[in-house]
Amino acid sequence: MKQPIRIVGQGMAGSMLAWHCERAGIEFELIDRGHATAASRVGVGLVSPLTGKRLAPTWRFSEWRDEVLTMYRELESELGLSLVREMRIRRFYRDAKQRELFESRIEKPEIAAWVDGLDDDGLWLKGALQVETGTLIAGLRKRWRQQGCLVEGVVPTDVEGAAIWCVGAERVPIRGIPWGPSRGELITGRLEGLEEDVVLNDGQWLLPQEDGRVRVGSTFDRDDLVSKCTDAGQSQLIAAAERLAGRPIQGATGDSGLRVTVPDGRPVVGWVDAARTQGVFAGFAAKGALWAPALARQWVVDGLDGAKLDPEVRLGRFFN
């Protein structure tokens, strides 16, 4: 009898892989130690068409945005949870130099496609999504525990064994992948009266919730990977909230998590060995809400041999 696929870690990566296995009728076994440190619990699941100081197109956003929106809608109806919102982004210029840069960049068709207007203060971007990744992984965990296909426990990452490693910023037992973790802090507090479907962004973002709360993030620290929240990080975010909303945030509390990426900024996906005993599905940086469901579908859809995986994400690029 064929062994079930063994998936270690049930953040967005492990959840999306297991969900596509379930849909394809492939048996799986999930092992996860709990969501206390999961980036998917902390992150806010923003999926933006254009990001960063240079308004760069998000890799594969145009190709995958509608497909992942459909998947999240299906998950909403399966789990009876509210998981995804369509959003606009109000992207403010930091200064005159950035305004000049953005105005020159929107000449490019791949950037213009997502710009929905501009004025003296900034741009309006369309097409963004916000996914409640923490709610999603908690909902799937409950279902899979009830079905007996999720086991709570720690799989030692220094011991080799057949598995697909979906352990986020935790080191996987495969040498040669140049992981780069970073710690991100955010705050949650109250700021009433903002438009619920508009993300404010000037390099830091402010995400309104439907209940008068907002989430504001995030910091980026490659050196201190250990602290929970720092005074400097929390002050930076409280100041960002006031700058973006024009008034102070009330009752702010902080949280933090680790994201992980590799130097080319692409996820890391595929089998390590020809016998397909060890696999990796990680490196989702701050784009897990877009990349994890789309790449999990690609990996599972052809029976897990990986032949249809996007060449830019293949694990083999580190071993050539």
Ligand X SMILES: Cc1cc2nc3c(=O)[nH]c(=O)nc-3n(C[C@H](O)[C@H](O)[C@H](O)COP(=O)(O)OP(=O)(O)OC[C@H]3O[C@@H](n4cnc5c(N)ncnc54)[C@H](O)[C@@H]3O)c2cc1C
Shortest Å, Cβ 11 to ligand X: 2
Q: CA-CA distances (angstroms) from residue 315 to 269, 273, 283?
A: 5, 10, 11
Residue 177 has, within 13 A of its CA and on its CB side, a CA count of 28
d(CA 287, CA 117): 25
Which residue, 117 or 254, is less far from ligand X as judged by CB?
254
Residue 87's identity, in one-letter code, is: M
Q: Where are the beta strands (DSSP E) in the chain?
A: 5-8, 28-32, 46-47, 50-51, 56-57, 84-92, 115-118, 122-131, 150-152, 163-165, 180-190, 198-201, 205-208, 213-217, 250-261, 268-271, 278-282
CB of 122 or CB of 257, closer to ligand X: 257
Reading the block at residue 135, the tokens are 């709610």
Q: Which CB sits closer to ligand X, 117 or 178?
A: 178
List the one residue from 7, 40, 206, 272 that touches ligand X (CB under 6 A).
Answer: 40
Q: Is 145 in the site for ligand X (CB under 6 A)?
A: no
If binding is defined by CB under 6 A, does position 39 make contact with ligand X?
Answer: yes
* Binding region for ligand X (CB under 6 A) out of 89-97, 118-126, 187-195, 278-286: 278-286
Among 24, 31, 81, 239, binds ligand X (CB under 6 A): 31
Bridge partner residues of 128 (DSSP): 87
* 32 binding ligand X? (CB under 6 A): yes
Residue 169 Cβ, how far from ligand X at the closest point, in Å?
6
37/250 Cα distance (integer angstroms): 26
Stretch that binds ligand X, among 27-35, 193-201, 227-235, 269-277 (CB under 6 A): 27-35
| Per-residue binding letters, 256-275, with ligand X (x by CB under 6 A) | -x-x----------------
Contact 176, 317 (CB under 8 A): no
C-beta of 31 vs 118, nearer to ligand X: 31
Contacting ligand X (CB under 6 A), which of 22, 132, 170, 310? Answer: 170
Least separation, in Å, of the C-beta of 43 and ligand X?
A: 3
The size of the interface with ligand X (CB under 6 A), counted in residues, is: 43
Cα(66)–Cα(129) distance, integer angstroms: 10
Nearer to ligand X, 40 or 98 (CB): 40
Q: How far is the CB of 120 from ligand X (least distance, A)?
A: 27
Question: Residue 11 or residue 122: which is nearer to ligand X going by CB?
Answer: 11
In the complex, minimum distance from the CB of residue 104 to ligand X, in angstroms, rounded to a whole number? 27
What does the chain come to in residues? 320
Interface with ligand X, residue 221, by CB under 6 A: no
Residue 290 contacts residue 58 (beta carbons within 8 Å):
yes
One of 23, 24, 29, 33 touching ligand X (CB under 6 A): 33
The answer for residues whose C-beta is within 8 angstroms of residue 45's C-beta and 6 or more apart is: 129, 130, 131, 132, 133, 288, 289
Question: Is the distance from CB of 31 to CB of 7 less than 8 angstroms?
Answer: yes
Binding site for ligand X (CB under 6 A): 8-14, 31-35, 37-40, 42-46, 133, 154-155, 157, 166-168, 170, 184, 186, 217-218, 257, 259, 282, 284-290
